[in-house]
Amino acid sequence: MIQIRPIQPHEIPAAKHIILSVAYRIYGWKGSLEDSIRHFEETGEFHDMDEVQSHYFYNNGLFLAALDDGKIIGSGAIRKWDATTAELKRMWLLEEYHGRGIGYQLITRLFVFARTHGYKHIILQTGSEQSRAVRFYERIGFYRIPTYNNQPDEISMEIDL
């Protein structure tokens, strides 16, 4: 049974593994998945997840986990960007769960949270290689905007709530 709820601190390593497992297949990184995990841990790529309380829960945000019979299968989060804008982060789902509406359920819960906390917009940034994710975001109403994180090779998007 699929459950979506706020992530628990002890589930962070499993969520990181999901994110990197999916990204590894999308981006086709050289070396093993374990090499990629080690690299991203060493470079601090997951600092926001290591400090989930301060980056999300204490920052007018929410970090959700999607579980199937207690096993992490995906994640999605939003955090404050400014007074009226939240940033969508860490939206990942194991590929075998695509097409079941789980991603839509995750993002819908995040939208409800954002609206109740006074946000008027949600922004996101995703890799240009993630065409499936971009199509998903566009289907639910996101539109492209100029990059906001000084990463010109990535796609920035926004939705008005």
Mind listing the pLDDT tens digit for each residue in 9-31? 999 999 998 988 888 777 777 77
pLDDT (tens digit per residue) in 93-142: 999 999 999 999 999 999 999 999 999 999 999 988 888 899 999 999 99
Domain around 129 = 2-160
Q: Which of 37, 150, 142, 15 is nearest to 90 (CA)?
A: 15
Considering its fold, how many domains does the chain have in total?
A: 1
Which domain CATH number covers 70?
3.40.630.30
SS3 content of the chain, % helix, strand, coil (to 5): 40, 30, 30
pTM > 0.75: yes or no? yes
